[in-house]
Amino acid sequence: MLSEDIFFSPVTELGQKIRRHQLSPVELAEAYLARLESMGQKLNAVATITRELALEQARAAEQEIAAGKYRGPLHGIPYGAKDLLATRGIRTTWGAKPYEDQVFDFDGTVIRRLRHAGAVLVAKLAMVELAGGGGYRYAAASLTGPGKNPWNPGHWTGGSSSGSGAAVAAGLVAFAIGSETWGSIVNPSSFCGVTGMRPTYGRVSRHGAMPLSWTMDKLGPIGRTAVDCGLVLAAIAGPDPQDASSVPQSFSPATETRPARPWLAATGSGRVGVIREDFSKHGDPEVGAAFGEALKVLEASGARLADAKLPDFPYGAVADLIISAEGASVFRPLIESGKIYELNDPLQPAGLYAGLKISAADYLKAMRIRARMQIELNKLFERFDLLVAPSEMKTSPTLEADLEKYFSGGGGEIGAAGNLAGWPCVSVPMGFGKNHLPVGLQIVGRAFDEASVIALAAAYQKKTDWHRQRPPH
């Protein structure tokens, strides 16, 4: 019987134990599978448990390691993948009723790369239907029901990578893969109190992943620590002929033998721009207070903080229009088949239908504005090495909340700006807000500078223990 501590250990620790033969991959996979079968279903975090495949992969890992063939830090580590990643012979539902029986005959590139790294796929994880494609108003917008937050099951996990956030928070997987077009990794990571990474656009191949907005979709890890996210990123990053937007750059994480440089050395000057939000106008003041404390920790870590202001652009309108137009194009056959009525949330069919009404001229104008945004936004990195902001302005809403109302009120433009620019970001837990629900700090870097983003996040996590807190449920 494994100690409960194991389920909340970072990949770095699990990997060391496996490498030193102190922990059996098969025993570890069995233990995670048992948790997924009991707690995973209660939290609506699971789409499909891949028991047979997991045990086969775990046995193979155990045999290889026993024979002296150690593949690296993910070898024998159980993980879950958002159910928008194609897995050969295992259903991939995209979180949506019209696709509940969909089975692909191939693995997506990320799944394939993790298999080569020796990781063990224990579950396909729940998600908001079509990754929230047409927009959604309720937490129940999912084939598997509302994602229940392990910190308080009466509250939402966030989305659209709902199961990925909950499963990591509840210790049901060692790490998970999520996707983000606009907020879908950062939001559940913040609400569930875990560490999530949105890589630079083009860093990770999306082959085999459900498309929503091909100029904005990104795949990335959710884990316990920034260092863990770096290890996973290293395994999944790199060019892929099957995704023409993937970039010919790999990513090298810190390792036991090659420790990360201190973040100040990594960034050169330690200039950190602070995106301030007006919590007197919108958001929870408790989030503002936690952000203030986080800034003190960053300063104590050597950061030279100065206020940063995003250039004045209609970020939200541009992001929404691009995602709506591209999403309507992707799902046009679904819309025209009438099967959009099978989606759970009333906003989904309406939003997808509305997407079809966007003119080509409007879409292209949005892309032109986006190009100007990128030029102006990138000038921020002439003054700063990194930017920081609260991941979300509020803690998680209740399961019944009207999300449109809950999230109305403005603020948080860095989310739309960062996704439009393709910038990498890590969200780390930075304390608790209302109802003792987690809140997150986002650290954003220039394109392809994940190393600095992870380095500052790791420095923050060395000085805090928010990421070590465990939910009661």
Partner 1 sequence: MRRTSRRMSRRLFSKLLGGSVLAVPWVMQQSGTAPQALANPEPIEARWTDAQRREARKAVEAVEKESGTLAKFDVPVAVEPAFVFRAIPVRSRRTPSRAAEGR
Q: Across the strands, what pairs with 258?
A: none
Q: Which of 52, 89, 103, 242 binds partner 1 (CB under 8 A)?
A: 242
Does position 92 bind partner 1 by CB under 8 A? no
Is 321 a residue that touches partner 1 (CB under 8 A)? yes
98 binds partner 1 (CB under 8 A): no
Enzyme catalytic residues: 82, 160, 184
Rounded Cα gap, residues 224 and 8, in angstroms: 8
Paired sense of beta strands 78-82 and 120-125, if any? parallel
Q: Please tell me whether residue 400 binds partner 1 under the rule CB under 8 A.
A: no
- 245 contacts partner 1 (rule: CB under 8 A): yes
As a whole number of angstroms, the distance between CA 453 and CA 436 comes to 27
Q: Quick check: 250 binds partner 1 (CB under 8 A)?
A: no
Window 438-457: residues binding partner 1 (CB under 8 A):
447-448
Residues numbered 167 to 186 that lie near partner 1 (CB under 8 A) are 179-184
Sheet holding 438-445, edge to edge: 46-49, 120-125, 78-82, 175-180, 218-223, 195-198, 425-432, 438-445, 386-390, 271-275, 304-308
For residue 324, state whether it binds partner 1 (rule: CB under 8 A). Answer: yes
Q: Which two tokens stand for residue 78?
A: 């159980």
For residues 383 and 273, is the Cβ–Cβ distance under 8 A? Answer: yes
**Site track 27-66 with partner 1 (rule: CB under 8 A), x = hit:** ----------------------------------------
Of residues 125-144, those binding partner 1 (CB under 8 A): 128, 131-135
Choose, by CB under 8 A, the member of 248, 259, 268, 472 that binds partner 1. 248
Which residues inside 200-229 make contact with partner 1, applying CB under 8 A?
A: 200-202, 205-215, 217-219
Least CB distance to partner 1 at residue 102 (A): 15
Near partner 1 by CB under 8 A: residue from 318, 343, 388, 443 = 318
Would you say 203 or 224 has its CB closer to partner 1? 203
Q: Where do we find the tokens 């930017």?
A: 387
For the chain, give percent helix, strand, coil, nearest 5: 40, 15, 40
Q: What angle do CA 226, 291, 383 make, to 5 degrees?
A: 75
388 - beta bridge partners?
274, 443
Under the criterion CB under 8 A, does residue 405 sit at the interface with partner 1? Answer: no
CA 84 remoteness from chain centre:
13
Quickly count: other Cβ atoms within 10 Å of residue 384's Cβ: 22
Residue 188 as a binder of partner 1 (CB under 8 A): the answer is no
Name 241's Cβ contacts closer than 8 Å, sequence gap at least 6.
Answer: none
> Whole-angstrom Cα distance, residue 179 to residue 158?
13
Of 346-375, binders to partner 1 (CB under 8 A) are: 346-347, 349-351, 353-355, 357-359, 362, 364-372, 374
What's the closest the beta carbon of residue 354 comes to partner 1, in angstroms? 4
Please state, in angstroms and rounded to a whole number, the distance separating the CA atoms of residues 197 and 225: 10
Residue 162 found at the interface with partner 1 (CB under 8 A): no
